[in-house]
């Protein structure tokens, strides 16, 4: 944890590693800027291996790159294609990736077999300048890294004599490549880093150090960049969603704090959802934050293929649902150009509660991909969202929601299985949500369902926002730098059905036969608060007040529904006798036989 003073961290000293201050680099006697840039480029590209691919010309180079990434999890860089010769060249990160890719020769793509070969030498040799730079950076990392505290102290590194002498800060471009290379080397050497101190390095909005750091260490817990030259909060907002586990941040001594505007601090706090300490001051209750981000796994309602999947899946779901409810646009980073999302509405799903009692589904039907109701390849494909931008448009067309993972964990169930071949997992979440507001950008209907099977549902009238049940299935695979990618996302929205499907409950005994039911009327029955509970079991009656008990008995008598369904009907009708009668009559044809008294 940082001490909060000047960006220093307890147990570390700046040591004034100065051959000059405030970024005045003393490099006149060393290599010229172009030599420095060439050296930085040589290191950045030292491990890259060039491959050649043929047999792709029935599709575009972009499609090939996406196909390779999807099938092999190998990213092609520096792509250069020639449709005339049918040859595409690209680089991969290292020789192992190149060899793995070469073994994919013969893979079918766009109707042809791919031919892949390695163009670079396979002896792994590097030029002496590159080897010298790598050793220099490794030595610097060893000097500045503390494995006990998992701390990388990069304070005032712009004046580190060995780095300055090597010309690594002689130009802005060289400096950027140096830090990118430093982060690649740290991850390559598997340095376990939880805290980084970048104070006193003359950094400003033009530098990409923080973005490179976020790519290499997205799970960083403590970060300091005090006494630099950041002037605008907008730059920090680029980090939103990139340091999702950041607990402590030190930014004192930057011009952006000079105006002492409380709004500036609030904006910074909002960028990092788990931030507890800012500039040495507590800004959030850590207990509440931890509870918010922890999915309460209950053994009876959860299944995980392995114990490891339990923690990973629970954390993913907790973070995802929080963003879905509060900042849906922040989920964009989890989806790639190849990710898919679709949702469907099932208004006929019965579950354990009488359905379609005045419900309004118009907020969902425009883009619903219920394959029992949407026929034909073209309309089915038009309702499949592919790519992060298209997916986000559909996300923003759905009503705002509130899930109750923390408040009511028994209302949710989850199953998780692994995909060993992709090192991924499939998560299926069952539960409920409350609609809380209209969609930000509703999709246009375009008369897609005029006169169709959905049309009758658009004529229904009901409350603007309701409680719904849902099933949601994610296929999650690892992405760059340890982040998750959602490859597939399917959402089923249905009428509220409760949680009896996964809770262990005792069977409610059906009440004894009642007299022949009288027709429902539109007047409230006379309620006698002191009346006996009749055929309601004592343990059920204890949860109802006398008026509710009488309403249950009256509904059972008038509808011949059994006890369980009578209670559910009244709950969904707000314990209003007249509304319950109307809801029963409007959905009578869809109530299952088991809902009635035997």
Spell out the per-residue pLDDT of the chain, length 598, in tens.
Answer: 554 434 444 433 333 333 333 333 333 334 455 555 555 555 555 567 888 898 888 888 888 998 999 989 898 988 888 776 678 888 888 888 888 898 898 888 887 889 898 876 555 444 444 567 788 888 889 899 999 999 999 999 989 888 888 888 888 788 888 888 888 888 888 889 999 999 999 898 888 888 888 888 888 999 999 999 998 888 888 887 788 789 999 999 999 888 778 888 888 888 888 899 999 999 888 877 776 666 655 556 678 877 778 878 888 888 899 889 988 888 888 898 889 999 998 876 654 444 444 467 777 887 888 887 777 788 888 889 999 889 999 999 999 999 988 778 888 888 998 877 677 889 999 999 999 988 888 765 444 433 334 333 333 444 467 889 999 999 998 876 567 889 999 999 988 888 877 775 544 444 443 333 344 444 445 444 444 445 688 778 877 888 888 888 888 888 888 888 888 788 777 788 877 877 777 667 667 777 788 7
Calpha distance 58→83 (Å, rounded):
10
Q: Options 2.70.150.10, 3.30.70.330, 3.40.228.10, 3.90.580.10; which CATH number does 47-118 get?
A: 3.30.70.330
Q: Give the DSSP letter of residue 497.
A: -
Tokens representing residue 481 in the block: 């730098």
Rg (the chain; Cα; Å)? 31
Give the burial class of 446: count Cβ atoms within 10 A of its Cβ; 0-12 exposed, 13-18 middle, 19 or more buried: exposed
Bridge partners of residue 486, in order along the sequence: 476
Who's near 555: CB < 8 A, 6+ residues apart?
A: 561, 566, 569, 570, 577, 580, 584
Scanning the structure block, which residue is given the tokens 């039911």?
A: 517
Distance CA 481, CA 217 (A): 7
- Choose among 564, 384, 343: nearest CA to 468: 343
Do 332 and 388 contact (CB within 8 A), yes or no? Answer: yes
Q: For the chain, what is the largest distance between any 2 Cα atoms, rounded to a whole number of angstroms?
A: 105
| Alpha helical stretches, state H, 327-398 | 362-365, 377-382, 388-395
Portions of the chain given CATH number 1.10.8.10: 508-598
What are the E-state strand segments in 326-407? 340-345, 385-386, 400-402
Task: For CATH 3.10.450.50, list the domain ranges present in the chain.
Answer: 299-495
Tell me the helices (H) and strands (E) count for the chain, helix number first. Answer: 19, 21
Identify the helix (H) or strand (E) that includes residue 17: none
- Superfamily for the 127-291 domain: Ribonuclease Inhibitor (3.80.10.10)
- Report how far residue 498's alpha carbon sits from residue 507's, in angstroms, rounded to the nearest whole number: 15
DSSP label at 2? B
| Residue that has been written with the tokens 């114990």 in this structure | 307
Whether the predicted model's global pTM rises above the 0.85 cut:
no
CA 551 to chain centre: 45
CATH architecture of 508-598: Orthogonal Bundle (1.10)
The token duo for 550 is: 């009488």
For 238, the token pair is 């680029």
Query: What is the Cα 542 distance to its own chain's centre?
Result: 42
Which residue ranges does the chain devote to CATH 3.30.70.330? Answer: 47-118
Overall CATH class of domain 299-495 = alpha beta
């Amino acid at each position: 944890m940082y001490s909060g003073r000047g960006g220093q961290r307890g147990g570390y000293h700046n040591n004034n590693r100065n051959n000059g201050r405030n970024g005045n680099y003393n490099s006149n006697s060393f290599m010229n800027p172009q030599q420095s840039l060439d050296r930085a480029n040589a290191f950045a590209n030292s491990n890259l291996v060039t491959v050649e691919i043929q047999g792709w010309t029935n599709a575009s180079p972009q499609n090939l790159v996406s196909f390779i990434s999807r099938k092999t999890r190998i990213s092609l860089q520096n792509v250069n294609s020639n449709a005339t010769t049918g040859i595409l060249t690209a680089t991969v990160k290292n020789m192992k990736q190149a060899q793995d890719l070469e073994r994919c020769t013969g893979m079918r793509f766009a109707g042809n077999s791919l031919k892949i070969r390695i163009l670079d030498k396979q002896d792994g040799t590097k030029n002496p300048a590159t080897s010298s730079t790598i050793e220099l950076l490794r030595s610097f990392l060893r000097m500045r890294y503390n494995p006990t505290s998992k701390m990388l102290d990069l304070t005032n590194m712009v004046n580190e004599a060995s780095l300055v002498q090597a010309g690594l800060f002689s130009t802005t471009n060289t400096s950027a490549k140096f830090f990118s290379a430093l982060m690649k080397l740290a991850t390559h050497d598997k340095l376990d880093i939880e805290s980084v101190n970048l104070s006193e390095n003359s950094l400003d909005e033009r530098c990409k150090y923080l973005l490179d750091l976020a790519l290499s260490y997205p799970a960083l817990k403590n970060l300091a960049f005090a006494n630099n030259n950041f002037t605008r909060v907008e730059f920090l907002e680029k980090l939103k969603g990139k340091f999702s586990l950041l607990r402590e941040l030190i930014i004192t001594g930057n011009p952006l704090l000079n105006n002492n505007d409380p709004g500036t601090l609030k904006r910074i706090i909002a960028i990092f959802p788990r931030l507890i300490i800012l500039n040495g001051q507590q800004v959030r209750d850590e207990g509440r934050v931890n509870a918010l981000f922890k999915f309460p796994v209950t053994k009876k309602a959860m299944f995980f293929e392995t114990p490891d999947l339990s923690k990973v899946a629970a954390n993913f779901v907790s973070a995802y649902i929080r963003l879905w409810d509060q900042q849906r646009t922040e989920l964009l980073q989890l989806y790639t150009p190849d990710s898919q999302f679709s949702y469907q509405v099932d208004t006929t799903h019965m579950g354990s509660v009488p359905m379609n009692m005045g419900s309004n589904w118009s907020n969902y039907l425009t883009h619903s991909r219920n394959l029992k109701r949407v026929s034909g390849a073209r309309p089915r494909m038009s309702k499949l969202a592919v790519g992060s931008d298209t997916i986000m448009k559909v996300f923003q067309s759905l009503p705002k929601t509130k899930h109750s993972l923390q408040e009511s964990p028994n209302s949710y169930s989850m199953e998780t299985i692994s995909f060993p071949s992709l090192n991924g997992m499939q998560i299926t979440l069952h539960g409920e949500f409350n609609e809380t507001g209209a969609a930000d950008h509703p999709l246009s209907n375009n008369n897609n369902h005029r006169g169709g099977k959905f049309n009758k549902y658009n004529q229904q009238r009901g409350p603007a926002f309701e409680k719904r049940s849902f099933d949601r299935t994610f296929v999650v695979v690892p992405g760059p730098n340890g982040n998750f990618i959602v490859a597939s996302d399917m959402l089923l929205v249905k009428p509220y059905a409760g949680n009896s499907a996964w809770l262990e409950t005792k069977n409610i005994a059906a009440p004894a036969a009642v007299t022949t039911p009288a027709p429902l009327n539109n007047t409230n029955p006379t309620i006698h608060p002191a009346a006996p509970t009749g055929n309601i079991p004592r343990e059920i009656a204890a949860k109802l007040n006398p008026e509710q008990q009488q309403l249950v008995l009256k509904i059972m008598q008038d509808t011949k529904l059994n006890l369980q369904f009578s209670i559910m009907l009244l709950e969904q009708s707000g314990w209003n006798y007249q509304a319950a009668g109307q809801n029963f009559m409007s959905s009578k044809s869809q109530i299952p036989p088991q809902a009635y008294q035997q």
